[in-house]
A and B are shown apart, each in its own frame.
Chain A
């Protein structure tokens, strides 16, 4: 209980540590800069003296690094103002004190190094995630603006496609990095959340908060949903989005319960983990809807309006029925009209799009292999029902018949010539 009490001010300090510089007014007195630096040094000194675990030591080490980084610009002032030490000596003293503390509490160097590496990785990943988030915001805006101008200018299509490709890549990259970061954070503790002490949980909570983990997860899903709302997505985009959504879901299923345990005391954050669940569901639905909508548009825009469909089974049935009617010629149309319609289908739908959609749909689990093969066979059947038989085929059949007749005649003749034993 005491430990828990002790850790609260520490946690408060940890969380506020990064934000202090943000709250500083534009006009700052040199005294305020010096006082703030001295206060942080004092706080870190207290943390060092109270450190109990390797994780704490790593965090403190990171704090010293951050303190150095954020005050580097003020080095000249601090060198003069700090007394009797200067800026560098103050940091050297802090690091020395930490090393002594580590030895006192028996932190093994290799363990410290491993956690330190993970922490550095976390910091690096957090930086990349932030920068990707900024880029993605800009790309999403650009994609929306270009989508609007696509209708007016066809030149915008190329730019839009480029933006979409870049955005897709960025979104994918950020998704991966978020979970890599989460992985690095949990790896530092090397144990299951259930077996963690309250202090460790609080520390982990602070770390997750500092790196905006939950916010980034939510943002990532929302951005992916927004991405789906841009037009001009190709079958490959949908396949990729579907794969990405499944991968994200899998990762979330692994980390979500752990996060929920960490956020158990924070109602707001706890409820946010359920928001992630529903956002993931929306994302999945949007991928699904977008896929079928885009496929339906492909048919209707090219003069083949199909009955509406919203699943692989429905799509297979609707398309098969449509082709069956074409084959049976239920409208009793002349041969040339039927033939023209098939060649339109081949030129506008099958060759440029549907051929690549089918394997993509199988890959994303929206169609089975059997359904794909069935559709392909049906299309081949349609083709043969409207394509007149070539004269070459007639010649070949005639030749085969002639050969067959000659063979039979010769066979019969040879039977007649055979002498009887009687």
Chain B
């Protein structure tokens, strides 16, 4: 009898545990922004996007890219969010495109993609077929590069 009682108790425990851990997933979800935004930081390094209400500090990013987070007045970044919800950031003279995921009141770097050895002249990010298209507007001879959170998907060096 105690044997059955024990097994029943364990089963009940497991059942209640599994109910407590079950998650509800809403999908598909589309986080894509139709068009990139060009943002200039304020004196403290904060950028603010008004339509989608996102703001963050880009000083660490600029330091990562240029090893300089002091001279930020002339800097601007180009920001777009892909379908999966990742933020893609680059800018003039950047050699990389940074992919960030949303974290607890922060953006967490997921991938740093090298896209140009010399630095981009006039980069622009477009939403294209579930990927992010990177073009250089001053360099029309260079083929566009298609990016995802995992890195370069088409064009450029993978």
Query: Which of A27-35, A155-163, A173-181, A213-221 forms contacts with chain B?
Result: A27-35
Q: Inside 8 A of A80's CB, which chain B residues have their CB?
A: 34-35
Q: Inside 8 A of B136's CB, which chain A residues have their CB?
A: 27
Tell whether B127 is near chain A: CB-to-CB under 8 Å. yes
Tell whether B62 is near chain A: CB-to-CB under 8 Å. no
List which A1-59 residues lie within 8 A (CB) of chain B: 25-32, 34
Tell whether B38 is near chain A: CB-to-CB under 8 Å. yes
Q: How large is the interface on B (under 10, 10 to 19, 20 to 34, 35 or more residues)?
A: 10 to 19
The reply to whether B127 and A30 form a contact with Cβ atoms under 8 Å apart is yes
Tell whether A83 is near chain B: CB-to-CB under 8 Å. yes
Tell whether B51 is near chain A: CB-to-CB under 8 Å. yes
Q: Inside 8 A of B140's CB, which chain A residues have their CB?
A: 25-27
The reply to whether A25 and B137 form a contact with Cβ atoms under 8 Å apart is yes
Residue with the highest number of chain B CB atoms closer than 10 Å, among A27, A31, A83 = A27
Please pick, from B34, B38, B137, B139, the residue contacting A81 in the complex, using a CB distance under 8 A. B34
Please pick, from B34, B78, B125, B137, the residue contacting A28 in the complex, using a CB distance under 8 A. B137
List which B34-84 residues lie within 8 A (CB) of chain A: 34-38, 51, 78
Tell whether A150 is near chain B: CB-to-CB under 8 Å. no
Please pick, from A27, A77, A81, A83, the residue contacting B135 in the complex, using a CB distance under 8 A. A27
Least CB distance from B40 to A in Å reads 14
The reply to whether B137 and A34 form a contact with Cβ atoms under 8 Å apart is no
Complex Cα distance, B34 from A319, in Å, reads 82
1/0 per residue, CB under 8 A from B, across A60-85: the answer is: 00000000000000000100110100
The reply to whether A29 and B135 form a contact with Cβ atoms under 8 Å apart is yes
Q: Inside 8 A of B34's CB, which chain A residues have their CB?
A: 30, 77, 80-81
Q: Inside 8 A of B144's CB, which chain A residues have their CB?
A: 27
Complex Cα distance, B44 from A370, in Å, reads 98
The reply to whether B51 and A29 form a contact with Cβ atoms under 8 Å apart is no
Complex Cα distance, B142 from A25, in Å, reads 13
The reply to whether B35 and A34 form a contact with Cβ atoms under 8 Å apart is yes
Complex Cα distance, B34 from A10, in Å, reads 32
The reply to whether A29 and B137 form a contact with Cβ atoms under 8 Å apart is yes
Least CB distance from A22 to B in Å reads 15
Complex Cα distance, B139 from A103, in Å, reads 48
1/0 per residue, CB under 8 A from B, across A80-116: the answer is: 1101000000000000000000000000000000000
Q: Inside 8 A of B51's CB, which chain A residues have their CB?
A: 83
Given contacts A25-B140, A26-B140, A31 and B36 within 8 Å (CB-CB): yes
1/0 per residue, CB under 8 A from B, across A138-162: the answer is: 0000000000000000000000000
Least CB distance from A31 to B in Å reads 5
Complex Cα distance, B121 from A25, in Å, reads 15
Complex Cα distance, B140 from A29, in Å, reads 11
Residue of A whose beta carbon sits closest to that of B126:
A30
Tell whether B147 is near chain A: CB-to-CB under 8 Å. no
Residue of A whose beta carbon sits closest to that of B124:
A29
1/0 per residue, CB under 8 A from B, across A373-410: the answer is: 00000000000000000000000000000000000000
Complex Cα distance, B126 from A29, in Å, reads 6
Q: Inside 8 A of B38's CB, which chain A residues have their CB?
A: 31
Q: Inside 8 A of A32's CB, which chain B residues have their CB?
A: 124, 137
Least CB distance from A77 to B in Å reads 7
Please pick, from A26, A30, A83, the residue contacting B36 in the complex, using a CB distance under 8 A. A30
Complex Cα distance, B144 from A27, in Å, reads 9
Residue with the highest number of chain A CB atoms closer than 10 Å, among B34, B36, B78, B139 = B34
Residue of B whose beta carbon sits closest to that of A80:
B34
Q: Inside 8 A of A81's CB, which chain B residues have their CB?
A: 34-35
Least CB distance from A90 to B in Å reads 15
1/0 per residue, CB under 8 A from A, across B125-158: the answer is: 1110000000111011000100000000000000
Residue of A whose beta carbon sits closest to that of B78:
A31
The 9 closest A-B pairs by CB, nearest first: A29-B124, A80-B34, A81-B35, A27-B140, A81-B34, A30-B35, A30-B126, A26-B140, A27-B135
25 A-B interface contacts by CB (under 8 A): A26-B140, A27-B135, A27-B137, A27-B139, A27-B140, A29-B36, A29-B124, A29-B125, A30-B35, A30-B36, A30-B124, A30-B126, A30-B127, A31-B35, A31-B36, A31-B37, A31-B124, A32-B137, A34-B35, A77-B35, A80-B34, A80-B35, A81-B34, A81-B35, A83-B51
